[in-house]
Structure 1
Amino acid sequence: MHITYLFDPLCGWCYGATGALEQISQLGGVTIQLSPTGLFAGEGARPMDQSFAAYAWQNDQRIARLTGQPFSETYRQQVLGAVGSTFDSAPSTLAIVAVGLQAPAQEMAALKALQQARYVDGRDNGSMDVVTDILAAAGFSDAADRLRAADQQLLAAYRTRIEAARADMTRFGANGVPALIIGKGDKRRLLPSGTLFGDPQILAAQLEAA
């Protein structure tokens, strides 16, 4: 079964869906295609201020209660507390695309490394320098070099993948991320947004029946 995973690397709910994604990936015959939407990149980026930081932390605590995913105090102080920094998912999205150009099967590992660095280690992966360091430390040195160079192939691939993800969101009426589109061709369909945060056995049954 083919699953398109619509996400943004700075989306707290996408981080919260990590456990469900891991369970899905263990089902027989399942392939997961990461489809970054650029929700918080470009025009979706914004400066970090106290109001937004408070809103984000409140939302993060709700995600933590529902999913068990940790949001550390270090993250709260060093990322949300960095007033004047930029909340921008472009660097992390570019990093995932760079890994995909080298080793497509490792994109999920790269995403997890970036999420761990942000929400647990308190590193601001809205910064290109920080993201490059995270990639290199996670064993993706070739992708890190490509990210530093910002070569034209990487930038073109970035634009293509975001355009494809946004087209899927429009086509299937996805109101946000995370979201799952299952199937291929004209048999593709969008699963309800809450599916990733419900009973994992129900989710597995829905996928196996699709």
Structure 2
Amino acid sequence: MAKPADNHVTYVFDAYCGWCHGFTPWLREAVADRPHLTVEVISGGLFTGTRRVPLRELTHIPTARHRVTQVTRVEFGPAFLRLLDQGDFVMDSQDAAAGLAGLRALAPAKALDFAAELSHAFYIEGLSLSDPATYRVLATRHGLDSEAAAAVLSDPAHHTAARAEFTQAKDLGVDAFPTLFTDNGTGPRRLRSLGTSAQDLGRRIDSALGRDSPR
């Protein structure tokens, strides 16, 4: 793997992580004010293997979503809440990560945008990230080839890429999502606190990289 450039940020997230749904907009806002940053998005694999269970078994979610909204002000849409009430939907982070890998292959510069789009698709629109139709919708929004996007889940290369990202996250010692690393050329350093707002997050990134915050 190539050595990251200075001012590099690694964002380890999961498209089915409720806290990531709240945090990704903060990161997008912070990055928009800091064009010197390069951002790598890694899927962590939150719901894989034995963790792939129906929503009704994840009894922490109803309480956790209120906490996410309280802290980040992000909303959870009626379509997602219906899935939560029904309880039989199964989140599959392998498919979500493969989907992100496929979208990123179509438009590498939009990786962080797609991370936000995938969380929005599930937590606002109630769309399955295992459904090719979801990727067709997202591609259309970004002016990409919708049929190519709909095919990303059936490409073994994207599933291989997803599994490699899970391993990368594990090697970085990530055990919770979201997790952010900064690198000013001396190696990745975990950002211990993600702050209380997009502005606070941006200042923390600047401090970790030894830079002044934009005024």
Q: Report the alpha carbon displacement of residue 198 of structure 1 after superposing the two structures with TM.
A: 1.7
Name the amino acid aligned to 2:36: G
Task: Tell whether the 8 Å contact from 1:12 to 1:60 is kept in structure 2 after alignment.
Answer: yes
Q: Under a length normalisation based on structure 2, what TM-score does the superposition of the two structures give?
A: 0.81
Question: Which residue of the partner structure matches residue 39 of structure 2?
Answer: 32
Point out where structure 1 has 5 or more consecutive residues left out of the alignment: none
Tell me, yes or no, if the aligned pair for 1:95 and 1:135 is still in contact at 8 Å. no
Q: Is the 8 A contact 1:114 1:134 kept in 2?
A: no
Alpha-carbon distance, 1:87 to partner:
2.1
Task: Specify the alignment match of 1:152 in structure 2.
Answer: 156
Long gaps (5+) in structure 2:
1-6, 210-215
Structure with a larger share of its residues in helix: 1
How big is the shift at 1:166? 1.7
Partner of residue 76, structure 2: 71
TM-score normalised per structure 1: 0.83
Deviation at 1:48, TM superposition (A): 2.4
CA RMSD across the alignment? 2.3
Post-superposition shift, 1:185? 5.6
Task: Please give the alpha-carbon distance, in whole angstroms, between the structure 1 residues aligned to 2:195 and 2:184.
Answer: 24
Residue of structure 2 in register with 1:6 after alignment? 12
Which protein has greater RCO, CA pairs closer than 8 Å, 6+ apart?
Answer: 2
1:44 aligns with 2:43: no
Deviations 1:76-104 (A, max 9, x none): 11x21233221222222111100122221
Q: Which residue is equivalent to 2:134?
A: 131
Aligned residues: 199
**Match of residue 104 from structure 2:** 100
Q: CA deviation at 1:61?
A: 0.9
Residue 213 of structure 2: aligned partner: none
> Matches of 1:96 and 1:133 in 2, distance apart?
13
Counterpart position of 2:170: 166
Per-residue CA deviation, residues 137-174 of structure 1 (Å, 9 max, x unaligned), is 434425424325x2232222222222112211x2xxx3
